[in-house]
Amino acid sequence: MDVYLSPTATAESPAPIVLWWHGGGLLQGGRKDVPPHFLSAPVKHSLTFISADYRLAPQFRLPAILSDCADAMKFLHTKEFQTATEGRADISRVILSGSSAGGWLALLCANGIGFDAAGLPKPPTVKGNVAIYPITDLEDPFWKTPQRPVAYLDRMIAKEEVQPFIDPADSGSRVSFITLDSPRSMFYHYMLQEAILADLLLSGTNIPPNSFSVAPFLKALTSTIVPTYILHGDADTKVHVRQSRDVVEALKELNGRVEIDYEYEEIPGVDHLFDYSPECEMEKMYKFIERVFR
């Protein structure tokens, strides 16, 4: 867990927290791979920004990963965290966020989705939820239809390239993060090529993939949820924009039954990871965060 404190925060006036999880299909990535706008947020937006790792699949299945996320949330409420941050991070004001698979983790943790199925206690409550081009449903055809080759590559990926990482029993592949130049960075593309995400995340758990489907969960709700912001580009080749659109339709239905606070921003013509551009400032997202923390 990396913690970036606001330079203006004090123990008397602590800065609210955005706890963020990285993407990579829960198969790759790490806490150091942070979009520039988040790194500047402590200064520009007076926020505490936290980037947390989690163990990677398939050596660790989705229930273990959810457990890691819940542990990160609970750690914020410990004396150890308070001491390390000198009380300058406001644990009473936390928004969960994440990009791609990390956005899915944020949606699951903010709403307690999948925790019962995974046999886990619900995580602490939070003030809001910001999901950036998130995965939302393993049952979507995007994850079940092989792409040979994937749309953005001009070649097939041989199984030999990812063999050490695809084996759940490979002890050398039991990791909680990788660097961008790691050979494992091809794993996500191979997963899309072969359409095996659900198997990599849940094989051997006897948990059905729809236990972690966000839209059906929201459609069945009769109670409100925390303020939610979802952002997706309509030209995304790595997580289809339908993943977010389905959740937004469910939010609309839920809003017809109970009053909820949500915003959806769909950006035309942009692909996955667009916010890693240094010029991308995510103004609407930070306005939402500021409003929730007000």
> 292: which 2 tokens?
């929730």
What is the per-residue pLDDT for 61? 98
22-36, pLDDT tens digit by residue?
999 999 999 999 999
> What pLDDT score was predicted for residue 209?
98
Confidence of residue 238 (pLDDT cuts 50, 70, 90): very high
Is residue 250 very low, low, confident or very high in pLDDT (cuts 50, 70, 90)?
A: very high
Q: Looking at residues 120-126, what average pLDDT do you find?
A: 97
Confidence of residue 84 (pLDDT cuts 50, 70, 90): very high
Q: What is the pLDDT of residue 34?
A: 98
Comparing CA positions, the residue from 75, 121, 113, 68 lying closest to residue 94 is 75
- The whole-number average pLDDT for the span 107-130 is 98
Only one residue has tokens 């602490």, namely 124
What's the rounded Cα separation, in Å, for the pair 32 and 249? 33
DSSP state of 130: E
The 10s digit of each residue's pLDDT in 210-234 is 999 999 999 999 999 999 999 999 9
Task: Say how far residue 113 (Cα) sits from the centre of its chain.
Answer: 13
Give residue 97's pLDDT. 98
What span, in angstroms and rounded, lies between the C-alpha atoms of 282 and 244?
17
- Helices 159-166 and 187-194, axial angle in degrees (round to 10): 100
Alpha carbons 258 and 174: distance in angstroms, whole number: 43
Note if the pTM is more than 0.95. Answer: yes
Confidence band of 235 (pLDDT split at 50, 70, 90): very high
Query: What is the per-residue pLDDT across 33-73, written as a single tens digit (0 to 9) for each?
Result: 999 999 999 999 999 999 999 999 999 999 999 999 999 99
131-168, pLDDT tens digit by residue? Answer: 999 999 999 999 999 999 999 999 999 999 999 999 99
Per-residue pLDDT tens for 11-20?
Answer: 999 999 999 9
3-class DSSP assignment, residue 143:
helix
Pick 2-143+195-293's CATH classification: 3.30.450.20, 3.20.20.150, 3.40.640.10, 3.40.50.1820.
3.40.50.1820
Strand partners, 266: 232
pLDDT of residue 163: 92
Indicate the pLDDT class of residue 183, thresholds 50, 70 and 90.
very high
- What pLDDT score was predicted for residue 91? 98
The share of the chain scoring above pLDDT 90, in percent, equals 98
